[in-house]
Structure 1
Amino acid sequence: MWPTEACGIGDRGALLVRPDHVIAWRTAHAVPDALTVLAAATRQARGLDRPATP
């Protein structure tokens, strides 16, 4: 369990943590459309939001 104060999130915040324990994304507070935000953060953390290179 990660302490919320040390991670810079509030009681309603969230973290996306990679398997190597690097914080890939965080939000300090709850967001209106959490599933959409989490999906976008996951795509970004995996590098899927970058344009394809030729």
Structure 2
Amino acid sequence: MALLVLAQQSQPFVEFTPAQAKQAVARELGLERIPRPDDAADGLALALAAWYQR
């Protein structure tokens, strides 16, 4: 629904696969590997997103 609204308003957006998001977290934090379990990587991704929204 959110993507539909953005498209209707001609707002730009990007989509990432779960793997791309996890790889970005690892790069951003300077980690050699993607954090495991997947929930840990997802939690870090959300924390980083919240941090950058401040």
* TM-score, normalisation: structure 1: 0.37
Task: Choose between structure 1 and 2: higher helix proportion.
Answer: 2
Structure with a larger share of its residues in strand: 1
* TM-score, normalization by structure 2: 0.37
Larger radius of gyration: 2
